[in-house]
Amino acid sequence: MSDAATADQTTSALALNWINRQAALGEPWFFAQAPSTLPAPYPIAFNDDVAALLDLDADAVRAAGYAEALSGNALPDGCEPVSHRYGGHQFGVWAGQLGDGRAITIGDIRNSRGQAYEIQLKGAGKTPFSRFADGRAVLRSTVREYLGSEALAALGVPTTRALAIVGSDAPVYRETVEHAAVMTRVAPSLVRFGSFEILFENRNFDALAPLADHVIEEHFPEIAAIEDDAERYRTWVERVIDLTAELIVDWQAVGFCHGVMNTDNMSVLGLTLDYGPYGFMDSFDPDWICNHTDAGGRYTYEQQPHVGLWNLGRFVQSILPLLSGDPDTAVEIGQKLLQRYRGVFDDAYMERMRAKLGLSQARDDDRELVDGLFKTMAADGADFTRTFRALGHVSADPEASDAPFIDEFADRDAASAWLARWRERLGNTNADDVGRAERMRLTNPKYILRNYLAQNAIDRADEGDYSEIERLHAILRRPFDEQPENADYAKLPPDWARGLVLSCSS
Protein backbone atom coordinates (compact mmCIF):
# COMPACT_ATOMS: atom_id res chain seq x y z
CA MET A 1 0.00 0.00 0.00
CA SER A 2 1.29 3.48 -0.88
CA ASP A 3 2.06 6.05 1.81
CA ALA A 4 -0.89 8.15 0.61
CA ALA A 5 -3.27 5.18 0.81
CA THR A 6 -2.01 4.31 4.29
CA ALA A 7 -2.54 7.91 5.43
CA ASP A 8 -6.09 7.88 4.03
CA GLN A 9 -6.87 4.63 5.83
CA THR A 10 -5.46 5.99 9.08
CA THR A 11 -7.31 9.30 8.98
CA SER A 12 -10.51 7.39 8.22
CA ALA A 13 -10.00 5.18 11.28
CA LEU A 14 -9.48 8.34 13.34
CA ALA A 15 -12.63 10.05 12.08
CA LEU A 16 -14.17 11.86 15.04
CA ASN A 17 -16.80 14.48 15.81
CA TRP A 18 -14.47 17.46 15.72
CA ILE A 19 -16.03 20.61 17.21
CA ASN A 20 -12.82 22.68 17.40
CA ARG A 21 -14.15 25.23 19.90
CA GLN A 22 -10.64 26.37 20.78
CA ALA A 23 -9.78 27.13 17.18
CA ALA A 24 -13.04 29.06 16.92
CA LEU A 25 -12.17 31.06 20.04
CA GLY A 26 -8.83 31.94 18.48
CA GLU A 27 -6.33 34.54 19.63
CA PRO A 28 -5.14 35.70 22.13
CA TRP A 29 -5.89 32.34 23.74
CA PHE A 30 -5.27 29.80 20.96
CA PHE A 31 -3.02 30.23 17.92
CA ALA A 32 -3.28 28.22 14.70
CA GLN A 33 -0.27 25.92 14.46
CA ALA A 34 0.31 22.83 12.32
CA PRO A 35 2.64 20.08 13.60
CA SER A 36 6.12 19.71 12.12
CA THR A 37 6.95 16.63 10.07
CA LEU A 38 8.47 13.81 12.10
CA PRO A 39 10.82 11.60 10.05
CA ALA A 40 9.78 7.94 9.64
CA PRO A 41 7.45 7.61 12.66
CA TYR A 42 6.57 4.19 14.02
CA PRO A 43 4.02 2.93 16.57
CA ILE A 44 5.13 2.21 20.14
CA ALA A 45 1.99 2.05 22.32
CA PHE A 46 -1.76 2.43 21.94
CA ASN A 47 -4.30 2.60 24.78
CA ASP A 48 -7.65 0.90 24.25
CA ASP A 49 -9.16 2.48 27.38
CA VAL A 50 -8.63 6.02 26.12
CA ALA A 51 -9.67 5.03 22.60
CA ALA A 52 -13.03 4.03 24.07
CA LEU A 53 -13.43 7.50 25.62
CA LEU A 54 -13.12 8.96 22.13
CA ASP A 55 -15.40 6.41 20.41
CA LEU A 56 -12.45 5.01 18.47
CA ASP A 57 -12.30 1.41 17.31
CA ALA A 58 -8.88 0.48 18.72
CA ASP A 59 -8.49 -2.58 16.50
CA ALA A 60 -9.30 -0.56 13.39
CA VAL A 61 -6.83 2.16 14.35
CA ARG A 62 -4.08 -0.40 14.95
CA ALA A 63 -4.84 -2.16 11.68
CA ALA A 64 -4.76 1.11 9.77
CA GLY A 65 -1.56 2.22 11.45
CA TYR A 66 -1.61 5.31 13.60
CA ALA A 67 1.99 6.53 13.44
CA GLU A 68 1.53 9.01 10.59
CA ALA A 69 -1.60 10.59 12.03
CA LEU A 70 -0.55 10.67 15.68
CA SER A 71 2.89 12.01 14.87
CA GLY A 72 1.19 14.97 13.20
CA ASN A 73 2.36 14.07 9.70
CA ALA A 74 -1.12 13.31 8.33
CA LEU A 75 -3.83 14.82 10.50
CA PRO A 76 -7.37 13.41 10.56
CA ASP A 77 -9.91 15.23 8.44
CA GLY A 78 -11.83 17.91 10.27
CA CYS A 79 -9.37 18.87 13.01
CA GLU A 80 -7.96 22.39 13.40
CA PRO A 81 -4.62 22.38 15.27
CA VAL A 82 -3.78 25.14 17.73
CA SER A 83 -1.24 25.91 20.43
CA HIS A 84 -2.33 27.47 23.71
CA ARG A 85 -0.90 30.65 25.22
CA TYR A 86 -0.43 30.88 28.98
CA GLY A 87 1.97 32.15 31.61
CA GLY A 88 2.85 30.98 35.07
CA HIS A 89 4.61 31.30 38.38
CA GLN A 90 7.51 28.86 38.38
CA PHE A 91 8.96 27.99 41.80
CA GLY A 92 7.08 30.99 43.19
CA VAL A 93 8.36 33.55 40.67
CA TRP A 94 6.39 35.03 37.77
CA ALA A 95 7.98 33.63 34.61
CA GLY A 96 6.00 35.63 32.06
CA GLN A 97 4.64 34.12 28.88
CA LEU A 98 5.15 30.36 28.53
CA GLY A 99 2.58 28.50 26.42
CA ASP A 100 2.55 25.20 24.55
CA GLY A 101 6.18 25.08 23.53
CA ARG A 102 6.17 21.50 22.29
CA ALA A 103 2.49 20.55 22.30
CA ILE A 104 -0.12 21.11 19.62
CA THR A 105 -3.80 20.43 20.22
CA ILE A 106 -4.97 19.02 16.91
CA GLY A 107 -8.59 19.69 17.85
CA ASP A 108 -11.34 19.09 20.36
CA ILE A 109 -14.12 16.58 19.92
CA ARG A 110 -17.42 15.56 21.42
CA ASN A 111 -18.07 11.85 21.88
CA SER A 112 -21.37 10.00 21.59
CA ARG A 113 -22.06 10.62 25.29
CA GLY A 114 -21.77 14.36 24.88
CA GLN A 115 -18.37 14.59 26.57
CA ALA A 116 -15.80 17.02 25.20
CA TYR A 117 -12.10 16.13 24.91
CA GLU A 118 -9.03 17.89 23.61
CA ILE A 119 -6.59 15.76 21.66
CA GLN A 120 -3.03 17.01 21.83
CA LEU A 121 0.24 15.84 20.32
CA LYS A 122 3.04 16.44 22.80
CA GLY A 123 6.37 16.70 21.01
CA ALA A 124 4.87 17.69 17.65
CA GLY A 125 7.31 20.49 16.85
CA LYS A 126 7.84 24.21 17.27
CA THR A 127 5.06 26.64 18.13
CA PRO A 128 4.99 30.40 18.71
CA PHE A 129 5.80 29.58 22.34
CA SER A 130 8.83 27.31 21.87
CA ARG A 131 11.26 30.16 22.54
CA PHE A 132 14.70 28.65 21.84
CA ALA A 133 13.60 25.00 22.13
CA ASP A 134 13.11 22.45 19.35
CA GLY A 135 9.50 21.60 20.14
CA ARG A 136 10.26 17.90 20.44
CA ALA A 137 9.79 15.35 23.21
CA VAL A 138 12.08 12.43 23.95
CA LEU A 139 11.13 8.80 24.38
CA ARG A 140 12.22 8.80 28.03
CA SER A 141 9.83 11.50 29.22
CA THR A 142 7.07 10.32 26.92
CA VAL A 143 7.08 6.82 28.40
CA ARG A 144 7.00 8.32 31.90
CA GLU A 145 3.97 10.47 31.12
CA TYR A 146 2.14 7.67 29.32
CA LEU A 147 2.57 5.27 32.23
CA GLY A 148 2.21 7.88 34.97
CA SER A 149 -1.04 9.35 33.77
CA GLU A 150 -2.59 5.93 33.22
CA ALA A 151 -1.39 4.73 36.63
CA LEU A 152 -3.11 7.65 38.35
CA ALA A 153 -6.26 7.17 36.29
CA ALA A 154 -6.49 3.56 37.44
CA LEU A 155 -6.08 4.74 41.04
CA GLY A 156 -9.07 7.01 40.58
CA VAL A 157 -7.06 10.24 40.59
CA PRO A 158 -8.24 12.92 38.11
CA THR A 159 -5.66 13.27 35.36
CA THR A 160 -4.99 13.86 31.72
CA ARG A 161 -4.89 10.61 29.78
CA ALA A 162 -2.58 9.07 27.18
CA LEU A 163 -3.85 7.56 23.94
CA ALA A 164 -0.65 6.62 22.14
CA ILE A 165 3.10 6.90 21.76
CA VAL A 166 4.72 7.29 18.37
CA GLY A 167 8.50 7.10 18.02
CA SER A 168 11.13 8.17 15.54
CA ASP A 169 14.86 7.59 15.19
CA ALA A 170 15.27 11.32 14.61
CA PRO A 171 17.84 12.60 17.12
CA VAL A 172 16.80 14.99 19.89
CA TYR A 173 19.52 16.75 21.81
CA ARG A 174 19.15 16.99 25.58
CA GLU A 175 21.85 16.06 28.11
CA THR A 176 22.61 13.30 25.58
CA VAL A 177 21.28 12.44 22.12
CA GLU A 178 17.91 10.73 22.51
CA HIS A 179 15.15 9.35 20.30
CA ALA A 180 12.19 11.57 19.42
CA ALA A 181 8.69 10.60 20.46
CA VAL A 182 5.19 12.07 20.32
CA MET A 183 2.55 11.30 22.91
CA THR A 184 -1.14 11.80 22.23
CA ARG A 185 -2.55 13.42 25.34
CA VAL A 186 -6.30 13.56 25.97
CA ALA A 187 -8.20 15.69 28.48
CA PRO A 188 -11.57 17.41 28.80
CA SER A 189 -9.59 20.65 28.91
CA LEU A 190 -5.95 21.71 29.13
CA VAL A 191 -6.77 25.25 30.27
CA ARG A 192 -4.77 26.04 33.39
CA PHE A 193 -4.29 28.71 36.04
CA GLY A 194 -1.61 30.29 33.88
CA SER A 195 -4.10 30.69 31.02
CA PHE A 196 -5.75 33.44 33.05
CA GLU A 197 -2.60 34.75 34.68
CA ILE A 198 -1.06 35.83 31.37
CA LEU A 199 -4.17 37.85 30.55
CA PHE A 200 -4.21 39.55 33.95
CA GLU A 201 -0.47 40.27 34.00
CA ASN A 202 -0.72 41.81 30.52
CA ARG A 203 -3.75 43.82 31.66
CA ASN A 204 -5.80 42.17 28.93
CA PHE A 205 -8.83 42.12 31.22
CA ASP A 206 -11.40 41.99 28.42
CA ALA A 207 -10.05 38.57 27.41
CA LEU A 208 -10.74 36.98 30.83
CA ALA A 209 -14.51 36.56 30.46
CA PRO A 210 -14.51 34.83 27.04
CA LEU A 211 -12.01 32.20 28.26
CA ALA A 212 -13.85 31.71 31.54
CA ASP A 213 -17.16 31.40 29.69
CA HIS A 214 -15.62 28.85 27.32
CA VAL A 215 -14.54 26.68 30.27
CA ILE A 216 -17.78 27.08 32.21
CA GLU A 217 -20.12 26.41 29.29
CA GLU A 218 -18.28 23.29 28.21
CA HIS A 219 -17.41 21.74 31.56
CA PHE A 220 -19.69 23.26 34.22
CA PRO A 221 -23.13 23.47 32.56
CA GLU A 222 -24.93 23.73 35.90
CA ILE A 223 -22.88 26.85 36.68
CA ALA A 224 -23.38 28.23 33.17
CA ALA A 225 -27.12 28.35 33.90
CA ILE A 226 -26.60 31.04 36.58
CA GLU A 227 -27.75 34.30 34.99
CA ASP A 228 -25.94 36.82 37.18
CA ASP A 229 -22.39 37.21 35.87
CA ALA A 230 -20.65 37.89 39.19
CA GLU A 231 -22.47 35.04 40.93
CA ARG A 232 -21.68 32.67 38.06
CA TYR A 233 -17.95 33.45 38.23
CA ARG A 234 -17.87 33.23 42.04
CA THR A 235 -19.56 29.83 41.92
CA TRP A 236 -17.08 28.68 39.30
CA VAL A 237 -14.12 29.80 41.41
CA GLU A 238 -15.53 27.88 44.37
CA ARG A 239 -15.66 24.79 42.18
CA VAL A 240 -12.06 25.27 41.01
CA ILE A 241 -10.95 25.60 44.64
CA ASP A 242 -12.82 22.44 45.64
CA LEU A 243 -11.49 20.42 42.70
CA THR A 244 -7.92 21.54 43.42
CA ALA A 245 -8.16 20.64 47.12
CA GLU A 246 -9.66 17.25 46.33
CA LEU A 247 -6.99 16.53 43.71
CA ILE A 248 -4.16 17.18 46.15
CA VAL A 249 -5.87 14.99 48.74
CA ASP A 250 -5.87 12.23 46.12
CA TRP A 251 -2.13 12.74 45.57
CA GLN A 252 -1.38 12.63 49.29
CA ALA A 253 -3.46 9.49 49.73
CA VAL A 254 -1.38 7.47 47.25
CA GLY A 255 2.01 9.02 48.07
CA PHE A 256 2.25 10.89 44.76
CA CYS A 257 4.49 13.94 44.34
CA HIS A 258 3.95 16.12 41.30
CA GLY A 259 7.40 17.67 41.45
CA VAL A 260 6.65 20.88 39.52
CA MET A 261 3.49 22.47 40.95
CA ASN A 262 3.97 25.69 39.02
CA THR A 263 0.79 27.59 38.22
CA ASP A 264 1.16 26.77 34.53
CA ASN A 265 0.88 23.10 35.53
CA MET A 266 -2.37 23.51 37.49
CA SER A 267 -5.63 22.57 35.75
CA VAL A 268 -8.84 24.55 36.19
CA LEU A 269 -10.65 21.19 36.09
CA GLY A 270 -8.62 19.72 38.95
CA LEU A 271 -6.69 17.30 36.72
CA THR A 272 -3.14 16.10 37.24
CA LEU A 273 -1.42 18.01 34.48
CA ASP A 274 2.11 17.91 32.98
CA TYR A 275 4.16 14.93 34.11
CA GLY A 276 7.75 16.00 34.54
CA PRO A 277 9.82 14.84 37.52
CA TYR A 278 6.90 13.24 39.36
CA GLY A 279 7.25 10.28 41.66
CA PHE A 280 5.36 7.77 43.76
CA MET A 281 6.98 7.64 47.18
CA ASP A 282 8.82 4.51 48.28
CA SER A 283 10.13 5.01 51.84
CA PHE A 284 7.89 7.52 53.55
CA ASP A 285 9.52 10.90 54.00
CA PRO A 286 7.32 14.00 54.32
CA ASP A 287 10.22 16.13 53.06
CA TRP A 288 10.86 13.97 50.01
CA ILE A 289 11.92 15.94 46.93
CA CYS A 290 11.22 14.01 43.75
CA ASN A 291 12.71 16.73 41.53
CA HIS A 292 16.39 17.49 42.08
CA THR A 293 15.86 20.83 40.31
CA ASP A 294 13.78 21.82 43.36
CA ALA A 295 16.81 22.62 45.50
CA GLY A 296 14.77 24.57 48.06
CA GLY A 297 12.18 21.82 48.60
CA ARG A 298 9.24 23.96 47.53
CA TYR A 299 7.33 20.98 46.15
CA THR A 300 7.90 18.24 48.74
CA TYR A 301 5.14 15.81 49.66
CA GLU A 302 4.34 17.74 52.84
CA GLN A 303 4.29 21.09 51.02
CA GLN A 304 1.88 20.10 48.25
CA PRO A 305 -1.31 21.10 50.14
CA HIS A 306 0.15 24.51 51.02
CA VAL A 307 1.38 25.13 47.48
CA GLY A 308 -2.06 24.25 46.19
CA LEU A 309 -3.52 27.14 48.19
CA TRP A 310 -0.72 29.49 47.10
CA ASN A 311 -1.37 28.63 43.46
CA LEU A 312 -5.08 29.19 43.90
CA GLY A 313 -4.24 32.62 45.27
CA ARG A 314 -2.51 33.46 42.00
CA PHE A 315 -5.47 32.11 40.03
CA VAL A 316 -8.03 34.09 42.03
CA GLN A 317 -5.92 37.22 41.68
CA SER A 318 -5.90 36.78 37.91
CA ILE A 319 -9.70 36.70 37.64
CA LEU A 320 -10.52 39.46 40.15
CA PRO A 321 -12.05 41.66 37.40
CA LEU A 322 -14.71 38.97 36.93
CA LEU A 323 -15.73 38.96 40.60
CA SER A 324 -16.64 42.63 40.87
CA GLY A 325 -16.25 45.88 39.00
CA ASP A 326 -14.89 47.48 42.17
CA PRO A 327 -11.26 46.39 42.81
CA ASP A 328 -11.52 46.51 46.62
CA THR A 329 -14.73 44.51 46.60
CA ALA A 330 -13.20 41.99 44.20
CA VAL A 331 -10.21 41.48 46.52
CA GLU A 332 -12.52 40.97 49.50
CA ILE A 333 -14.58 38.42 47.58
CA GLY A 334 -11.44 36.62 46.42
CA GLN A 335 -10.04 36.38 49.94
CA LYS A 336 -13.28 34.93 51.26
CA LEU A 337 -13.38 32.39 48.44
CA LEU A 338 -9.87 31.19 49.24
CA GLN A 339 -10.82 30.60 52.88
CA ARG A 340 -12.88 27.58 51.83
CA TYR A 341 -9.79 25.66 50.65
CA ARG A 342 -8.54 24.49 54.05
CA GLY A 343 -11.91 23.19 55.19
CA VAL A 344 -12.51 21.32 51.93
CA PHE A 345 -9.00 19.87 52.01
CA ASP A 346 -9.12 18.79 55.65
CA ASP A 347 -12.53 17.14 55.33
CA ALA A 348 -11.57 15.28 52.16
CA TYR A 349 -8.18 14.29 53.60
CA MET A 350 -9.64 12.73 56.73
CA GLU A 351 -12.31 10.95 54.72
CA ARG A 352 -9.62 9.36 52.56
CA MET A 353 -7.37 8.50 55.50
CA ARG A 354 -10.21 6.88 57.43
CA ALA A 355 -10.91 4.75 54.37
CA LYS A 356 -7.22 3.77 54.14
CA LEU A 357 -7.25 2.75 57.81
CA GLY A 358 -10.55 0.89 57.54
CA LEU A 359 -12.43 3.27 59.84
CA SER A 360 -16.10 3.36 58.97
CA GLN A 361 -17.11 6.17 61.34
CA ALA A 362 -15.49 9.48 62.22
CA ARG A 363 -14.06 10.34 65.62
CA ASP A 364 -12.43 13.55 66.81
CA ASP A 365 -9.11 11.86 67.60
CA ASP A 366 -8.75 10.17 64.21
CA ARG A 367 -6.23 12.80 63.08
CA GLU A 368 -3.93 11.78 65.93
CA LEU A 369 -4.12 8.16 64.82
CA VAL A 370 -3.28 9.10 61.23
CA ASP A 371 -0.44 11.40 62.24
CA GLY A 372 0.90 8.74 64.60
CA LEU A 373 1.15 6.24 61.76
CA PHE A 374 2.97 8.69 59.50
CA LYS A 375 5.42 9.59 62.27
CA THR A 376 6.15 5.91 62.85
CA MET A 377 6.60 5.35 59.13
CA ALA A 378 8.87 8.40 58.75
CA ALA A 379 11.08 7.38 61.67
CA ASP A 380 11.57 3.98 60.09
CA GLY A 381 11.47 4.84 56.39
CA ALA A 382 8.65 2.34 55.94
CA ASP A 383 7.35 1.96 52.40
CA PHE A 384 4.25 4.09 51.83
CA THR A 385 2.28 1.75 49.60
CA ARG A 386 3.26 -1.56 51.19
CA THR A 387 2.53 -0.33 54.73
CA PHE A 388 -1.07 0.62 54.01
CA ARG A 389 -1.64 -2.49 51.92
CA ALA A 390 -0.26 -4.69 54.70
CA LEU A 391 -2.55 -3.11 57.30
CA GLY A 392 -5.54 -4.44 55.39
CA HIS A 393 -4.27 -7.98 55.98
CA VAL A 394 -4.16 -7.62 59.78
CA SER A 395 -7.02 -8.69 62.03
CA ALA A 396 -8.55 -6.27 64.50
CA ASP A 397 -8.34 -9.01 67.14
CA PRO A 398 -5.43 -8.18 69.51
CA GLU A 399 -4.77 -11.91 69.91
CA ALA A 400 -4.08 -12.26 66.19
CA SER A 401 -0.68 -11.94 64.54
CA ASP A 402 0.76 -8.47 63.89
CA ALA A 403 2.27 -9.66 60.63
CA PRO A 404 2.46 -8.62 57.84
CA PHE A 405 2.14 -5.00 59.01
CA ILE A 406 5.07 -4.93 61.41
CA ASP A 407 7.22 -6.77 58.85
CA GLU A 408 7.38 -3.45 56.97
CA PHE A 409 9.19 -1.80 59.91
CA ALA A 410 12.66 -2.14 61.37
CA ASP A 411 11.37 -0.82 64.72
CA ARG A 412 8.82 -3.55 65.29
CA ASP A 413 8.00 -2.35 68.81
CA ALA A 414 6.98 1.10 67.56
CA ALA A 415 4.88 -0.49 64.80
CA SER A 416 3.20 -2.81 67.31
CA ALA A 417 2.45 0.10 69.64
CA TRP A 418 0.67 2.00 66.86
CA LEU A 419 -1.15 -1.16 65.80
CA ALA A 420 -2.49 -1.55 69.32
CA ARG A 421 -3.99 1.96 69.14
CA TRP A 422 -5.51 1.13 65.77
CA ARG A 423 -7.09 -2.06 67.11
CA GLU A 424 -8.46 -0.19 70.08
CA ARG A 425 -9.99 2.31 67.67
CA LEU A 426 -11.67 -0.57 65.83
CA GLY A 427 -13.02 -1.95 69.09
CA ASN A 428 -10.66 -4.93 69.35
CA THR A 429 -13.13 -7.13 67.53
CA ASN A 430 -12.77 -9.11 64.34
CA ALA A 431 -16.51 -9.03 63.66
CA ASP A 432 -16.07 -7.02 60.46
CA ASP A 433 -12.58 -8.16 59.50
CA VAL A 434 -13.60 -9.58 56.13
CA GLY A 435 -15.66 -6.57 55.04
CA ARG A 436 -13.13 -4.08 56.37
CA ALA A 437 -10.25 -5.87 54.65
CA GLU A 438 -12.09 -5.76 51.33
CA ARG A 439 -12.84 -2.06 51.70
CA MET A 440 -9.20 -1.37 52.52
CA ARG A 441 -8.06 -3.41 49.53
CA LEU A 442 -10.10 -1.17 47.27
CA THR A 443 -8.49 2.02 48.59
CA ASN A 444 -4.89 0.89 49.25
CA PRO A 445 -3.18 -0.18 46.02
CA LYS A 446 -0.70 -3.00 45.79
CA TYR A 447 0.87 -1.75 42.55
CA ILE A 448 2.12 1.76 41.82
CA LEU A 449 4.49 3.13 39.19
CA ARG A 450 7.72 3.13 41.16
CA ASN A 451 10.55 5.04 39.55
CA TYR A 452 12.63 1.94 38.97
CA LEU A 453 9.76 0.19 37.17
CA ALA A 454 9.39 3.14 34.83
CA GLN A 455 13.15 3.20 34.32
CA ASN A 456 13.17 -0.49 33.38
CA ALA A 457 10.51 0.17 30.74
CA ILE A 458 12.47 3.17 29.43
CA ASP A 459 15.73 1.24 29.22
CA ARG A 460 14.11 -1.52 27.18
CA ALA A 461 12.33 0.99 24.96
CA ASP A 462 15.64 2.69 24.22
CA GLU A 463 16.77 -0.66 22.83
CA GLY A 464 13.63 -1.02 20.69
CA ASP A 465 11.76 -3.39 23.03
CA TYR A 466 8.38 -1.87 23.96
CA SER A 467 6.94 -4.95 25.63
CA GLU A 468 7.65 -3.71 29.16
CA ILE A 469 5.56 -0.59 28.52
CA GLU A 470 2.62 -2.80 27.59
CA ARG A 471 3.16 -5.20 30.48
CA LEU A 472 3.57 -2.48 33.08
CA HIS A 473 0.52 -0.66 31.77
CA ALA A 474 -1.54 -3.85 32.06
CA ILE A 475 -0.44 -4.35 35.69
CA LEU A 476 -1.11 -0.74 36.65
CA ARG A 477 -4.60 -0.88 35.15
CA ARG A 478 -5.55 -3.14 38.10
CA PRO A 479 -3.61 -1.60 41.01
CA PHE A 480 -5.91 -2.92 43.74
CA ASP A 481 -5.95 -6.56 42.58
CA GLU A 482 -3.56 -9.09 44.09
CA GLN A 483 -2.25 -10.31 40.71
CA PRO A 484 -0.04 -13.04 42.24
CA GLU A 485 1.60 -13.65 38.86
CA ASN A 486 2.96 -10.09 39.01
CA ALA A 487 3.95 -10.03 42.70
CA ASP A 488 7.54 -9.05 41.86
CA TYR A 489 6.25 -5.67 40.70
CA ALA A 490 5.08 -4.93 44.26
CA LYS A 491 8.44 -5.62 45.89
CA LEU A 492 10.59 -2.99 47.54
CA PRO A 493 12.87 -1.15 45.11
CA PRO A 494 16.32 -2.66 44.54
CA ASP A 495 19.34 -0.87 45.99
CA TRP A 496 20.35 0.56 42.61
CA ALA A 497 17.01 2.37 42.33
CA ARG A 498 17.77 4.59 45.34
CA GLY A 499 20.13 6.58 43.15
CA LEU A 500 17.54 7.47 40.50
CA VAL A 501 17.39 11.22 40.01
CA LEU A 502 14.73 13.16 38.09
CA SER A 503 14.82 16.74 36.88
CA CYS A 504 12.57 19.08 34.93
CA SER A 505 13.86 17.50 31.71
CA SER A 506 12.42 14.15 32.80
Annotated binding-site ranges for ATP? 99, 101-102, 122, 134-135, 185, 192, 274
What size, in residues, is the chain? Answer: 506
Our answer to whether residue 264 is catalytic in this structure is yes
The DSSP annotation for 186-239 comes to EES---BHHHHHHHHHTT-GGGHHHHHHHHHHHH-HHHHT--SHHHHHHHHHHH
The count of other CB atoms within 10 Å of the CB of residue 464 is 11
Cβ(65)–Cβ(10) under 8 Å? yes
Residue ranges of the binding site:
99, 101-102, 122, 134-135, 185, 192, 265, 274
Q: What is the rounded CA–CA span in Å between residue 478 and residue 466?
A: 20
Residue ranges of the binding site for Mg(2+):
265, 274
Query: CB under 8 Å to 389, separation ≥6 — which residues?
Result: 441, 444, 445, 446, 490
Q: What is the rounded CA–CA span in Å between residue 154 and residue 476?
A: 7
Compute CA distances 472 → 44, 446, 462, whole Å: 14, 13, 16
Check 100, 108, 250, 264 and give the catalytic one.
264
Cβ(224)–Cβ(323) under 8 Å? no
Cβ(61)–Cβ(119) under 8 Å? no
The H-or-E segment that residue 383 falls in is none
Phi, psi of 32 (to 5 degrees): -55, 130
Cβ(91)–Cβ(294) under 8 Å? yes
Determine the number of helices (DSSP H) and then strands (DSSP E) in the chain: 20, 12
Residues identified as active-site: 264
